[in-house]
Amino acid sequence: MGYDFRREMKRSLRSAVLIRRAAYVLAFGGFLLAGGRLAAGSHVLLPADDAASIQASAAGNGRESEAPPLVSLFNWRVKAGDDPAWARPDHDDSGWENREIAGRFAGIGTFWLRKTVEVTGRFSESDPPMISIYNLPSAFEVFWDGELIGCNGRWGRDRGQEFPGTTRFLQAFSPRRAEPGVHLLAIRISNFHVQGKTIVTGIGLGPLGVMNGYLRRMVEKRLVSMGLYFVAALFGFFLFIRRRKNFAFLYFGGFSLLFFLHSLWIYLIERMGLRLGPFAVIEVFIIFGIPAAFIMLDAFLLWHYDFRPRPVYLAGLALAMAGAAVFGSGLVGIQARLIAVPVAFGFVLAVILAVRGKRGWGMALVGTAIPFANHVLIFFIPGLTPFLEALPGYAEMVLTALVLSMFMGIIALCVRDENRSLEILRIRSQRLSAELLKKSIQPHFIMNTLLSAQSWFGRDPDKAGRLIEALAEEFRIISRIVSELEIDLAEEIALCRSHLELMGYRRDAVYRLVVNGDVSRLKTPPMLFHTLIENGLTHAFEARENGTFTLTCESRPGEVEFQLENDGSR
């Protein structure tokens, strides 16, 4: 066997292209990891122990300190049970459990949270200190240096005594209680009505004006995110309706709709402060809605880029999510694990697209890399979570718009390609229409048909009349369908039967067309089966030989199979 230089050269070039694309992917991942570590390493983190520092406006000089005026409080001491002495600053809580307080952290019953806070500078009477507790619908009391300063609902030792509060708690207190120095913030919680474990996603402390401004920006940011997701959902569903059976558009619309509903839910919590009833009902959606949204995004990539075999990919995703739900409970919460798996799966799909060089792979990679950094890399890059939380308020809106624009860009490329294909098909259809019309009115076909009619006039005038009527009916149907891209299969069958009747008169034979299957809703290009039957008459039957054509239609999900047979002797 000789050495094929051209074949080997093409193979080498293909390998080089694959290696280059893989290098791009690795470089992108390297930059992502390096950038995350750099950003996390350069960010000033909160203290690692149980003390946090808050800087108020300096008294007397009218200057703002360099320290942030508003902080989120992490690293709390947690203990189940109840003892009023636990509110005192001098109580020894060194044996209590340390928790970050970012998610579900306690069960049914009563328990306490304690944290020391260092205040430097002085608050003013017009801008007093304020405590914000977000997403804790059970009942609780808040103590500052052992003194009760506010409550949410009514704390109780059992279910009968407890009256749950709302999901948004804001409490301002006297600046004289927040003099510079170390203070103790304690929260006494009873949780008998919230099923499962209690949720806390944020406890903050800061000046009243800054806190109100922060909350206002959060609400405005949520409204913008809701608008972005709502428009994207309409975009996906509209394309699905216009382009039927393209489920990729449906999945993208579902992804956007789930995030819209999630943003709406957070907006209601932040703006209104929901009580336990509606909170408990919709909490299930909050836990599973975001993982479901990212599963929809994975399905969009699988269907849009036609990954095969899709069942294998979906089974792999399902097994990974099942494993995440069962294992790893000691590391992160179940919601975080169920989100991380489909996010990582989508990023892997984008990497595969990049290696294969599929159209729009760059946008897919960027669109999946942002959620990947936010939901997966945070487990591997120390300090990335505080860095992401410290980003400006508009950063979330910008990232949301970027992710949606990437996937909408992929869809736009698909729509543009489809429009180009349709334009090409339209031009070809016009040419085919002209060719079909010329083929159907060929002079020799008309001449032979008229000669057959002339011969029948002498022997059987009625049959000659039926022959001319069949010719007129065939031309009538052809003139009606020749300019269409698709026609009803029933109309194509009527044309074929008219042609068989005509050819039967010409060849002194009887031809039939038998149809098996439901053809009421099927479409076909014009004169497709007419051409096949015409060829069958020419090559399968002898002169004056009767015959039958059988058209069988079998419909399956997503496709239809046709089979045309004849019983000719040739």
The pLDDT value recorded for residue 352 is 94
Q: Are 196 and 104 in contact (CB under 8 A)?
A: yes
| CA 470/CA 421 separation, integer angstroms | 37
For residue 343, what are the CA distances in angstroms to 232, 389, 398? 19, 19, 19
- What pTM does this model have? 0.56
**Sequence-ordered list of residues with C-beta below 8 angstroms from that of 212, at least 6 positions apart, any chain:** 130
CA dist 540 and 529 (Å) reads 15
At 197 the pLDDT is 63
* Backbone dihedral angles phi then psi of residue 511, each to the nearest 5 degrees: -120, 140
CB 361 within 8 A of CB 354: yes
Express each pLDDT in 464-505 by its tens digit: 777 777 777 777 777 777 667 778 888 888 888 888 888 887
Decide if 251 contacts 299 (C-beta within 8 A).
Answer: yes
Plot region of 129 (φ>0 → left; ψ -120 to 50 → alpha; else → beta):
beta
pLDDT at position 431, please? 61
CA proximity to 190, closest of 149, 161, 229:
161
Using CA atoms, how far apart are residues 376 and 387, in angstroms rounded to an integer? 14
β-strand 202-207 against 129-134: which pairing, if any? antiparallel
* Token pair for 73: 């409080």
* pLDDT for the residue numbered 392: 67
Rounded to an integer, what is the distance from CA 292 to the centroid of its chain? 8
User: Tokens in use for 508?
Assistant: 């002194």
pLDDT of residue 515: 92
Q: How far apart are alpha carbons 335 and 543 in whole angstroms?
A: 76
Residue type, 560: V
Distance of CA 415 to CAs 246, 367, 421, Å? Answer: 11, 19, 10
* Spans of the chain below 50 pLDDT: 1-6, 8-9, 12-13, 15-16, 19-20, 22-68, 330-331
d(CA 385, CA 137): 25
Which residue reads 């060089």 in tokens? 357
DSSP code string of 193-239? SSSSS-EE-EEEEEEHHHHHHHHHHHHHHHHHHHHHHHHHHHHHHHH
CA-CA distance, 289 to 282, in Å (whole number)? 10
CA 51, CA 182: separation in Å to the nearest integer?
9
pLDDT reported for residue 127: 85
- Return the DSSP state at 69: S
Q: Which residues pair with residue 127 across a beta bridge?
A: 124
Whole-angstrom CA distances from 335 to 202, 330, 332, 396 are: 17, 13, 8, 20
What's the first-to-final CA gap in the chain, in angstroms?
44
Structure-block tokens of residue 206: 């800061």
Instruction: Please report the pLDDT score of residue 113 as a whole number.
Output: 93
Please state the three-class secondary structure of 239-281 as a single string: HHHHCCCCHHHHHHHHHHHHHHHHHHHHHHHHHHCCEHHHHHH
pLDDT of amino acid 361: 92
Q: How far is CA 306 from the centre of its chain?
A: 16
Residue listed under structure tokens 């520092």: 53
The residue count for the chain: 570
Burial of residue 233 (CB within 10 Å: 0-12, 13-18, 19+) is buried
Cα(368)–Cα(311) distance, integer angstroms = 21
Q: How far is CA 508 from CA 75, 455, 504, in A?
A: 97, 11, 6
Q: At 108, which amino acid appears?
A: I
Supply 427's token pair: 């031009």
Q: Which residue has the tokens 């703002």?
A: 64
